[in-house]
A and B are shown apart, each in its own frame.
Chain A
């Protein structure tokens, strides 16, 4: 089996994000493998543990720094990497680059992605990839079962529900957090990853059809934290009573 895992180089969610002019952020912060993509890489590695004749190829679109993120995927177990060197604009263009790189590398049985990237939160690339590669897509998967060419996916659904779907290989699957617990690399894994091949393809070489139109960022504003603590006064009994009432009637979570 051949698996392509599409990953993204994103800002660390714990970093202090500084918004610069032109709808960009100050990129002099820690960037890392998109957390949902860690689940995708982990799932691929687990499939290879069951089906040893499996090759895992990690792909990304980005600048030179994105190679670090590919190395993270390689340290987690991917066999080789492909870096499409170019700027990341929007999911239409990214999906075209990824699809072109995948075709050039040889079509896989399975394409795995994260269910979204934590920076743009667009949730589009996996669907666009599916369309470009003519593959069905299941997204936000919390369980993937492969039986021969048959795939059963349990996916997150609205309102905390669970959607169980069946499809077949080849397909595109977007990983949710519940899919697995991604492994952390060890130093021997990191050393091995340094020696694994990473092919760099200039974005221009892929000669994609430029999408007609696209999305342009007009403004980017940092999130304003508005969480405030509140002290419920009175005895412990009164405070608990008030808390339960609050959770039931105002927050409606119990």
Chain B
């Protein structure tokens, strides 16, 4: 077995795979290792895979909008590689951002104007014309069903919404990672699965390689941490890396629910992805004419930080493991059932429970580290799926530039977005940054 590579990528999720792909395109011999048995099987598989442009920062909007171009041109991005599992599909539904007290939508609108994202402003009447099942009363503030005030009759109406005709989701997030893996392999990348990293080796303040649980050693002058919810554990293995990060990451438990669409309403084909800060939820169509319901982390909801190994082993104890909880099922479904009064809410919870790799300010770290040759693309905080191909290209450029002598901490890389033509200051994602107070501190990023 060949044990020497130009770069080792830890994690074969939807961000790890494009980093391998883009590095391979630059001529790097890459090895990707993942503790699971195939690409995208970790938290990528549980992603809602939503593709939308609204973020609380200009760079956030620019990066997301750039990402659209990759998803829209998926086959070409993959260099027309064949995947025996088929290709994931981008489903364009359009994206509704409800104007509410739960979102700083004016800031988003300003960001759209700066970046040039096309949008329309919809009145309440227009929303009702397009989505007749929505009740457009204002339900703010977000509460939990345990609170008797949750059931108060609403009195006011919403203001309207910002509608982006471009927006939607990828049909199968796990498959999308697998597609990128196949594209990377076609460029010579190698992937090893069921491979758990137990040691990051280094000498003279430079990384030298990794050691797997079975004792296998792989050497490379570049190691990239893309370990998702395990990112902080990987950083802690690398000499001085965790300590050198001003922004840290942790694993945050999150639940996503499935509810059947109202009878007679073809949500799957006619519905829109909707970000609804007024009720602290986002929702999109799912196969089977279902509503897929995620939480936008309202303040009244508990945040449950877990050890990812205990969580995935189901050993975290009730409410801390990978089972849905009744209280959160009711919270998310009842909130959306206020907006959609004909939504059907089964007695039995159904959905997905997984982890965010959450950073202190819910903005990712795309950066080098204090250990030479060790890089990180972590802290995706539930909001980076859509950016994965862009992040892959940006990380590859960052790694290549730093390996060639760039002092990114002093002179941050300016990454040119090839489709939208804007430049992103990659220093925005620095581990050394202070907490970004412009952030929404939620999945909205």
How many residues in B have their beta carbons less than 8 Å from beta carbons of A?
26
Assess whether A235 is interfacial by the CB under 8 Å rule.
no
Assess whether B344 is interfacial by the CB under 8 Å rule.
yes
Q: Which residues of B contact A89 (CB under 8 A)?
A: none
Assess whether B342 is interfacial by the CB under 8 Å rule.
yes
Q: Is there contact, CB below 8 Å, between A30 and B326?
A: yes
Assess whether B345 is interfacial by the CB under 8 Å rule.
yes
CA gap between A106 and B352 in the complex, in Å: 45
Most buried by B among A12, A13, A28: A12
Given contacts A16-B323, A26-B318, contact A33 B347 (CB under 8 A): yes
Contact of A186 among B325, B343, B350 (CB under 8 A): B343
Q: Is there contact, CB below 8 Å, between B341 and A14?
A: no
Within 8 A of B (CB), among A1-44: 12-16, 26, 28-33, 35, 38
Within 8 A of A (CB), among B293-323: 314, 318-319, 321, 323
Closest 9 CB pairs of A and B: A184-B344, A187-B337, A28-B318, A30-B326, A72-B347, A184-B346, A32-B347, A33-B347, A187-B341
21 contacts between A and B (CB under 8 A): A12-B348, A12-B349, A14-B323, A16-B314, A16-B321, A16-B323, A28-B319, A30-B324, A30-B325, A30-B329, A32-B347, A33-B347, A38-B347, A184-B259, A184-B346, A185-B345, A186-B337, A186-B341, A186-B342, A191-B151, A194-B151
Within 8 A of A (CB), among B205-261: 259-260
Q: Which residues of A contact B338 (CB under 8 A)?
A: 187
Q: Is there contact, CB below 8 Å, between A186 and B344?
A: yes
Assess whether A211 is interfacial by the CB under 8 Å rule.
no
Which residue of the partner chain B has the closest CB to A194? Answer: B151
Q: Is there contact, CB below 8 Å, between B350 and A187?
A: no
Interface of A is mostly: loop
Mark interface residues in B41-62 (1 if CB within 8 Å of A CB, else 0).
Answer: 0000000000000000000000
Given contacts A16-B314, A184-B346, contact A31 B341 (CB under 8 A): no
Q: Is there contact, CB below 8 Å, between A187 and B326?
A: no
CA gap between A12 and B344 in the complex, in Å: 19
CA gap between A87 and B237 in the complex, in Å: 51
Sample of 9 more A-B contacts, CB < 8 Å, known A184-B346, A186-B341, A187-B341: A32-B326, A32-B347, A35-B348, A184-B259, A184-B260, A184-B344, A184-B347, A187-B337, A191-B151
Q: Is there contact, CB below 8 Å, between A14 and B350?
A: yes
Closest beta carbon of chain A to B74's beta carbon, Å: 29
Q: Which residues of B contact A35 (CB under 8 A)?
A: 348
Which residue of the partner chain B has the closest CB to A12? Answer: B348
CA gap between A222 and B419 in the complex, in Å: 56
Closest beta carbon of chain A to B263's beta carbon, Å: 9
Closest beta carbon of chain A to B254's beta carbon, Å: 17
Q: Is there contact, CB below 8 Å, between B348 and A187?
A: no
CA gap between A186 and B261 in the complex, in Å: 11
Contact of B349 among A28, A30, A38, A183 (CB under 8 A): A30
Q: Is there contact, CB below 8 Å, between A190 and B334?
A: yes
Within 8 A of B (CB), among A86-124: none
Q: Is there contact, CB below 8 Å, between B151 and A15?
A: no
Q: Which residues of B contact A190 (CB under 8 A)?
A: 334, 337, 345
Q: Which residues of B contact A13 (CB under 8 A)?
A: 348
Which residue of the partner chain A has the closest CB to B337? Answer: A187
Q: Is there contact, CB below 8 Å, between B349 and A14?
A: yes
CA gap between A183 and B263 in the complex, in Å: 10
Q: Which residues of A contact B325 (CB under 8 A)?
A: 30
Assess whether A188 is interfacial by the CB under 8 Å rule.
yes
Q: Which residues of A contact B342 (CB under 8 A)?
A: 186
Q: Which residues of B contact A184 (CB under 8 A)?
A: 259-260, 344-347
Q: Is there contact, CB below 8 Å, between B345 and A186?
A: yes
Q: Which residues of A contact B314 (CB under 8 A)?
A: 16
Which residue of the partner chain B has the closest CB to A184? Answer: B344
CA gap between A72 and B348 in the complex, in Å: 10
Q: Is there contact, CB below 8 Å, between A188 and B341?
A: yes
CA gap between A28 and B347 in the complex, in Å: 17
CA gap between A184 and B349 in the complex, in Å: 12
Q: Is there contact, CB below 8 Å, between B326 and A31?
A: yes
CA gap between A188 and B344 in the complex, in Å: 11
Q: Which residues of A contact B321 (CB under 8 A)?
A: 16
Q: Which residues of B contact A12 (CB under 8 A)?
A: 326, 348-349
Q: Which residues of B contact A191 (CB under 8 A)?
A: 151
Closest beta carbon of chain A to B138's beta carbon, Å: 16
Q: Is there contact, CB below 8 Å, between B337 and A29?
A: no
Q: Which residues of A contact B151 (CB under 8 A)?
A: 191, 194
Closest beta carbon of chain A to B256's beta carbon, Å: 15
